[in-house]
Structure 1
Amino acid sequence: MVLKGASILFAAVLLFFAMIAGSQAANELIPLYTLPAGGTVYVLGAGIVNVSNKNMPDIKLVQQAGSGTLDITRKMMQKDAQKKESFGIFATVDAFNAYKGNNEYARKPFANLRAVTFINSTELYLVVRADSPIKSYKDCKSKRIGIGAAGSTVSNTALFLLEQHGVAKNAFKAQYYSYREVVEGIQDNSLDGGFLAGGFPIAAYTELSTNFNVRIVPVDEAILKKLTDYPYYYRTVVKAKSYKGVDKDVPVMGFSVALHTNANASPDLVYKVIKNLFEHKTDYYAIHSSAKELTVQNVQKGIAIPFHPGAEKYLKEIGALKK
């Protein structure tokens, strides 16, 4: 009788600790990596975290800013190796390169990277002071240009655009600066120009143009026509009067940004996150005008890597992907 009672007690203790472990696992913080503050991706990442945590008490996302896309993918790879979940928001061109092992990912590709959904379109501005002699990208030779964090989409795309205009990496003084450092460098004249990126309107540029006389350098139309060779890039225009000091339309380059996860992420978790985001998109839309680009029609925009099974399941349910 005593042994039977002890067995029941032992089983109860095991069940109690199992319940605690399950509760802890359910509430484990799951990182959502974004680019640094000052850009649209950071704001949209905060929106996804808020909408998720507000409506899914059993899931706790936490936003963590990385220094750039390379840093984000490396962090996600570490989580994947640990069989843990993570999410990251960055450009689809970098996702493709990481998945395939191209360029800076050649030594360490991320074959387990998976797409969840398109997030927003991003514009890239080369910003200079209003009285700057830099009228074209070609004028950047020998100049001090802030190009974003090393390994980031901004720096990679900036180098690509400059090279397309005949300005090689060794032909100008590249400074791997954050958005804040670019803004400060233009203001105190320690930089001749710098790149800012984000969904319209770009917060860092809005602030800079409101308090300082600056302008956006146009991308050469001949270069923009070549973008059809690169599926992740496209031509777009900064409309006249859209910012202080923009008196006429300015042609620039844009690229797609998406939400990604790792292959080892639970299909149930990914399904719940994307389902909740779409079902509460009104709350998400309120965070930034670019959030409204999250639509059923846009989910595949610019994405060239496999979707995660959890995301694929939900997107098929709403007709965004073919069954």
Structure 2
Amino acid sequence: MKTLRSVAAMALSASVICVSSASADAHSKEGWPTSFTVGTASQGGTYFAYGTGWANFVAENLGVGGGSEITGGPMQNMALVHTGEVAFGLTTMGPARESMNGNSPLAPGLKMDNVCAMFPMYQTPFSVTALSSSGITSIADIPDGARIGFGPAGSTSDTYFPAMLETLGVNFDRRNGGWSDLGSQLQDGLLDVIAFAAGIPIPAVSQLEVQTDVNIIEFTQDELNQITAAFPVAEFTIPASTYTTLTGDARAVSMWNFAIADCTLPDSFVYEATKLTMENNDQMVSIHNSARSSVPANFNKNTVIPWHPGAAKWFNENGYTIDSSQIK
């Protein structure tokens, strides 16, 4: 099973970002790993910022060495957590369902059942960005054969956004890459559009706003109706305050993200990491604004992944009922 790393690596070469850790206390840590890694996604995206900050937060407070790994995103994180090559990861409900059902493009036929839910993160809006100079102000304006960046291969955006745009009648030339790289390509005229699926504010979009004029393109109500009928997403509103470019709220669709854990991790370790995260939302928000949605009440947005016993224990102790049938 460990050979899955070589398959997943084709989606994106992985590199490790190290973060600090406090000295470990000996009490109540029997069986805990000496260090852990969190699978994130490409630089310039929300997963990278959120996951790296969260790894640092857990390491410093639980006294276990921690770090984050740049990966291809949700699909690859499911694979890496399933094989135990990373302890934790970040994923989205759609890719999680595909992976658990054995439909991951990284390992067709392999049901990834060693992945457990840990806590809710935030909703991933699907949004489209173009340079203002392109004249593209709506989905209908995207010209035939437009060069569209869909993020890293196997990412949530790459998995769902091409099919969404095809449903809306868009004909395009598909491109992949990390969000920061795609942002640079858009600015340099090598791309016409970027189709983002990432928590807001997306670092790459915020950076583009500083450097040039962009259009953040919303869906029409008819387009929303078509997409929500065909894909596992829900209507979402990007608040006008998210970006300086927006003059009003923007219509979008979204999919929920959850932190995941290797199901074989000690219950007490996952319990303490969940407790730390769920009881300190102000510090999570300081890591990334999207963490405003990383609150216990959103536990029920997980309709796909079985819960890790350690995480479920914290939720059940604090009035958020997770039935035993939903626990690994």
TM range (shorter): 0.7 to 0.9
Give distance in 2, aligned partners of 1:165 and 1:155.
16
Moved more, 267-276 or 142-151: 267-276
* Residue number in structure 2 paired with 1:204: 204
After superposition, residues 41-120 of structure 1 pair within 5 angstroms as: 41-57=47-63, 59-79=64-84, 86-102=87-103, 104=105, 106-120=108-122
Structure 1's 311 and 226: CA in aligned 2 closer, same or farther, altered over 3 A?
A: farther
Q: CA deviation at 1:99?
A: 0.9
Bigger Rg, structure 1 or 2: 1
- Give 3-state SS (helix, strand or coil) of 1:88's partner: strand
Q: Which runs of 5+ in 2 are unaligned?
A: 1-25, 324-328
Q: Which runs of 4+ in 1 moved over 6 A?
A: none
Q: Which has the higher contact order (CA 8 A, sep 6+)?
A: 1
Match of 1:12 in 2: none
Q: Distance in 2 between matches of 1:61 and 1:303?
A: 29
Q: Kindly indicate whether the alpha-carbon contact (under 8 Å) linking 1:88 and 1:259 is maintained by their aligned counterparts in 2.
A: yes
SS of 1:321's equivalent in the other structure is coil
SS in 2 for 1:286: helix
Q: 1 or 2, which has the higher helix percentage?
A: 1
Q: Distance in 2 between matches of 1:198 and 1:67?
A: 13
Distance in 2 of aligned mates of 1:185 and 1:315: 44
The CA deviation at 1:112 is 1.9
Q: Percent of pairs identical after alignment?
A: 23
Post-superposition offset of 1:103: 5.4
2:217 and 2:265 map into 1 onto residues whose CA distance is: 42
Distance 1:91 1:49 in 2: 18
Cα displacement (A) at 1:300: 2.4
* 2:185 aligned partner: 185
Offset of residue 160 of structure 1: 2.5
Between the aligned partners of 2:74 and 2:158, the Cα distance in structure 1 is 10
Residue pairs, 1:221-236, within 5 angstroms: 221-229=221-229, 232-236=232-236
In structure 2, what is the Cα distance between the partners aligned to 1:226 and 1:265? 41
Give per-residue Cα distances to partners, 1:51-75, cap 9 Å, x unaligned.
2112211x33221121232322222
User: Structure 1 regions of 5+ residues with no counterpart?
Assistant: 1-19
Provide the TM-score with structure 1 as the length reference.
Answer: 0.82
For residue 246 of structure 2, give the secondary structure of its aligned residue in structure 1. coil
Who is 1:162 aligned against?
Answer: 165
Larger deviation, residues 259-268 vs 184-193: 259-268
Q: How many residues align?
A: 295
**1:314 to partner: Cα distance:** 1.2
| Matches of 2:211 and 2:114, distance apart in 1 | 44
1:8-51 deviation digits (Å, cap 9, x = unpaired): xxxxxxxxxxxx9xx99745221111112212222221232122
